Amino acid sequence: MRIPATYSIQPRTFHFRQPAGTSRGVYTTRKSWMLTLKAADGTEGKGECAPLPDLSYDWLPDYEEKLQRFCQLLIEKGSIPVAEMLPYPSMLFGMETAMLHLQRGSAALLDTPWSRGEEGIPINGLVWMGRIDEMMARIQQKLDEGFQCIKLKIGALGWKEETAMLQRIRREYDKEEVELRVDANGGFLPNEAPDVLEVLAAYGVHSIEQPIRAGQWDEMARLCRQSPVPIALDEELIGWHTRSERAHLLDHIRPSYIILKPSLHGGMQGVREWVELASERGIGSWITSALESNVGLNAVAQLTASIYGPGISLPQGLGTGMLYTDNIPYPLEMRGQKLWFKP
């Protein structure tokens, strides 16, 4: 068992190939803090700490100082100060990644059929927000590349145009051919959501993420009870750090699915806990990355393979690693709709 003897923290700015339209505006760059741990024998472990501006619980002005303090604690204790780090999920995730990398001495952080290169993980094709005709062209491109599950952002362009787009998609592809997941990022009001859900059901949509803003538990619980389309929670899960808080949220809202991002929802150990609590309650889940570079994406995928594999059939949300012009090279590769690791 290797123990980290020293650490270093390197801020990095990554540049998007194309400006990325998200629910929080348009990003052209992305800042991460790369953490390197070094053992006495010279072995290094790298992890990425990547909070999302205005969304992460630990997006803080003194981010780097906090991370420094946790690294000092890590070196003193020889293990991750998990209890202290619960409110800092992106730092925890980066540190978990770096520790696994240090232990294994390889980017294959967890030993799974996926990390041995024996199988791929199916992922959804994410279509960025844009004008309707741009989005239609991007959907076609994803289908040509072999994706069968498409994820669309809705609730931002105008519901009329979005309905027209769903209609156009369904005129060409039925739900056996293309699984459609939509993400509203909280874009609808509780009183308009029921009609939206009816329309989505009519177009055979697989699920909707976060139809209304987080923090409205009673309204969300009512929608989950009545919705003809399965509802998935994402932002709702941010900021709940203990097992009992997480169980309470799931028991109160009773969603069909939860969508887990290690950087936002408690690091690797937090995601494992969420998945366990969900499956005890008959709630489905999948894992997604959160615009990390390849260092973080690899860690998210390693975790995904370890939790759900082997033979994952539900598409996961693992971005293709093609996001940045200056990404860090990693042995990750897309083949059709599957993400592979090349050991």
Q: Between 80 and 224, name the residue whose CB sits nearer to Mg ion.
A: 224
Cβ contact 22:13 at 8 Å: no
Q: Between 183 and 273, name the residue whose CB sits nearer to Mg ion.
A: 183
Residue nearest to Mg ion (CB): 234
Burial of 160 (0-12, 13-18, 19+ CB in 10 A): exposed
Stated as kind and residue range, the H or E segment containing 195 is helix 193-202
**Sheet arrangement for strand 338-341:** 121-122, 338-341, 332-335
Pairing of the two strands 338-341 and 121-122: antiparallel
**Closest separation in Å from C-beta 153 to Mg ion:** 8
**Residues touching Mg ion, count (CB under 5 A):** 3
Q: Between 151 and 338, name the residue whose CB sits nearer to Mg ion.
A: 151
Q: Is 261 a catalytic residue?
A: yes
**For residue 310, is the peptide bond before it cis, meaning its omega torsion is within 30 degrees of 0?**
yes
**Closest separation in Å from C-beta 250 to Mg ion:** 17
**Closest separation in Å from C-beta 57 to Mg ion:** 15
SS (H, E, C) 196-252: HHHHHHHCCCCEEECCECCCCHHHHHHHHHHCCCCEEECHHHCCCCCHHHHHHHHHH
**Closest separation in Å from C-beta 9 to Mg ion:** 28
Q: Between 162 and 234, name the residue whose CB sits nearer to Mg ion.
A: 234
Length of the chain: 343
* AA identity, residue 80: I
* Cβ neighbours of residue 70 closer than 8 Å, sequence gap 6 or more: 81, 84, 85, 88, 91, 95
Among residues 46, 142, 151, 153, the one annotated as catalytic is 153
Among residues 46, 142, 261, 338, the one annotated as catalytic is 261
Distance, CA of 222 to CA of 248 (rounded, Å) = 16
**Closest separation in Å from C-beta 315 to Mg ion:** 14
Q: Is 342 a catalytic residue?
A: no
Q: Between 49 and 259, name the residue whose CB sits nearer to Mg ion.
A: 259
Phi-psi region of 144 (alpha: psi -120 to 50; beta: other; left: phi over 0): alpha
**Closest separation in Å from C-beta 209 to Mg ion:** 4
Q: Which of residues 198-257 bind Mg ion (CB under 5 A)?
A: 209, 234
Q: Of 58, 43, 119, give the one whose Cα is nearest residue 88.
A: 58
Q: Between 95 and 283, name the residue whose CB sits nearer to Mg ion.
A: 283
Q: Which of residues 152-191 bind Mg ion (CB under 5 A)?
A: 183
User: Which residues contribute to the site for Mg ion (CB under 5 A)?
Assistant: 183, 209, 234
Q: Which residues are catalytic?
A: 153, 261
